[in-house]
Structure 1
Amino acid sequence: MDEKQLLLKAQEGDIESFENVLSTYQNYIYNVIYRIVDVKEDALDLTQETFIKAYINLKKFRGNSEFKTWLYRIAVNVSLDFIRKKKGVEEQLEEISDFRTPEDIFDDKVTRKIIIDELNKLKSEYKIVLILRDIEGLTYNEIAKITNTNIGTVKSRISRARNILKENLKKIPGFINAVEERG
């Protein structure tokens, strides 16, 4: 029997005819899937899934294309779905690994409060440029316009403010080491 006759019998429910057709394409489909997913065990599972989907949808096959082409399309779709799901799981695992505990959040709030308290102790000329640059993200030109000073003065005030802030934070017992340990 040729492939068309086997497919007609398979569409009528003859599983043996379907298995005969699939045996022709089993290695081909496995190789296609393996090239997409690159994991032997996954490729074997997806090959089986492809054949199950092909059997379930066999009555929809109208013969407008070759059976091999139709089967290939199913295999590619099954593989792409698998990759999307796997990627989604990996992203979820990444999100879980990036999960911050309440202690981490509390530590960040305490750190932020300490820095703000020390920032508030700076002279206003230093505090303003540091806030505009490091918190607001403004450029040196923008800061110079806002403070009505030249860029050189802005750069030197920012540098001086950072050094003063750093020195003041070093004076707080264990603060710099705790911040560095958390990364």
Structure 2
Amino acid sequence: MLDETLLVKRSQQGDMKAVEALYRNNSGRIFALCYRLCGQREWAEDFVQETFIKAWQNLGGFNGKSKVSSWLHRIASNVVIDKLRQKHRWSEDSLDESNWEQSQHVFDHHESMDIEKLLMALPERSRTVLILYEYLGYKHQEISKLTGIPIGTSNSLLNRARAKLGDNNAGLINE
């Protein structure tokens, strides 16, 4: 196996064999991560493909300061989080009106947009921890494994995100 950094450099120069080698060397671990996060094989396979598409599109952004596998894990984590958020929103949108009333998850369009704006205003790490913890139900230990953020830091980031959102807005995330 060639050095991963060399494979990235060759991939950046358009060497498709290097791109294929990066995929072969890392796709198994990326699949395991995606599957662990979403729990569904088909989704995980789709997430792996999207991860490598995004990585290929952003090869120029890889600076070599981290390991290639760490860079790919970050991309995969972001892909899974984004897609799960989209799927969650879609499933809420598809509920019939009686389910909306029973579950008390009624948001008007403006509130949903406000929540998205609030989330996007948070620093990336704080936003990621908040979404994983509050919105997707992960525990700090799981967040740590997923993101590489220490458990204590995850807890601190969550508390800072809640504080930045303010008491009135933090409740919107939980609903």
| Matched residue, 2:5 | 4
Q: Which residue identity does 1:65 align to in structure 2?
A: S
| Matched residue, 1:43 | 44
| Matched residue, 1:87 | 88
Distance in 2 (alpha carbons) for counterparts of 1:6 and 1:96: 53
- Give structure 1 stretches of 5+ with no counterpart: 101-183
Please, what is the CA RMSD of the aligned residues? 1.7
Identity rate, percent: 37
TM-score, normalisation: structure 2: 0.54
Residues 98-153 of structure 1: CA deviation (Å, up to 9, x unaligned): 489xxxxxxxxxxxxxxxxxxxxxxxxxxxxxxxxxxxxxxxxxxxxxxxxxxxxx
Distance in 2 (alpha carbons) for counterparts of 1:42 and 1:23: 19
TM-score, normalisation: structure 1: 0.51
- Give structure 2 stretches of 5+ with no counterpart: 102-175
Distance in 2 (alpha carbons) for counterparts of 1:45 and 1:96: 31
TM-fit CA distance, 1:22: 1.7
Residue pairs, 1:85-124, within 5 angstroms: 85-95=86-96, 98=99
Q: Which residue identity does 2:10 align to in structure 1?
A: K
Residues 35-89 of structure 1: CA deviation (Å, up to 9, x unaligned): 1111100000110000000000011100011110000000000000111001001
Distance in 2 (alpha carbons) for counterparts of 1:96 and 1:57: 42
Over 3 Å off, 4+ runs: 95-100
Change (3 A) 1:56 1:96: farther
Which structure's relative contact order is higher, taking Cα pairs within 8 Å and 6+ residues apart? Answer: 2
Pair member with larger Rg: 1
